[in-house]
Amino acid sequence: MIGKLKGVIDSYGEDFIILDVHGVGYQVHCSARTLQALPAKGEAATLSIETHVREDQIRLFGFQSDVEREWFRLLQTVQGVGAKVALSVLSTLTPSDLANAIALRDKATVSRAQGVGAKVAERIVTELKDKAPAFSDLDPALVHLSGALEDKRAPQPVRDAVSALVNLGYGHPQAAAAIAAAARAAGEAADTPSLIRLGLKELAR
């Protein structure tokens, strides 16, 4: 299996490049985000490669980093997510943004990717929720609170404070992050008005 290619960009296609490696041109399919980050035709490029082998074809998928390639693999473990949808998700979200969205169970962000409906987004955030924290840059306390909110295990004042901020027009992930910080500062015994006040201060920073 090919795991990495280093060569010169020969040409660009709609969703792929031809990478010239010592005179051999490899067709490598990439996400839109990866294509935009690559240098101009004739310049050197290095890509992490995922190789798909089928009876009738061999396809190469290229990524800027091993982390992006790992997400490509992880996404395809979800029912209903093939290579095309996985590339679409990675075209829309960076690996870090994707990890954060999954850790926070933010289905709306994941569903921004073309070809990802509500049901597929739900499966992605549900089936990959235990793997996302390892890749995300979120405070573990926030991930824990988000999970508690999702499962209705968070204290009632915290849930009410998050709901109040959402009603004010903030997105659920934003509201959860602000109230998580507020709860850390005020302590577990804080009431809803205090959490809302501190949460708004966090959002105003």
DSSP state at residue 139 = -
Look up residue 202 and give its two tokens: 């966090």
pLDDT tens-digit profile of 7-54? 999 999 999 999 999 999 999 999 998 999 999 999 999 999 999 988
Are 45 and 34 in contact by the 8 Å Cβ rule? The answer is: no
As a CATH number, domain 4-63 is: 2.40.50.140
**Which of the residue ranges 54-63, 141-150, 157-166 has the most confident prediction, judged by mean pLDDT?**
54-63
Q: Which of 3, 14, 5 is nearest to 44 (CA)?
A: 5
* Mean model confidence pLDDT for the chain: 84
Q: Where are the beta strands (DSSP E) in the chain?
A: 4-12, 16-21, 24-30, 44-53, 58-63
Longest dimension (CA), the chain: 68
Superfamily of domain 66-134: 5' to 3' exonuclease, C-terminal subdomain (1.10.150.20)
Q: Give the integer Cα–Cα distance in Å for 80 and 120.
A: 7
**Is residue 151's pLDDT more than 50?**
no
What is the Cα 83 distance to its own chain's centre?
Answer: 15
Q: Which residues does 147 contact at the CB level (< 8 Å), separation at least 6? A: 105, 129, 153
Mean pLDDT score, 173-183: 78
Domain-wise residue ranges, the chain: 4-63, 66-134, 140-204
Whole-angstrom Cα distance, residue 187 to residue 183? 5
Cβ(61)–Cβ(21) under 8 Å?
no
Higher confidence at residue 30 or residue 205?
30
HSE on the CB side for 37, CA within 13 Å? 15
Segment among 27-31, 50-54, 144-148, 159-163 with least mean pLDDT: 144-148
Tokens 């101009």, located at residue:
40
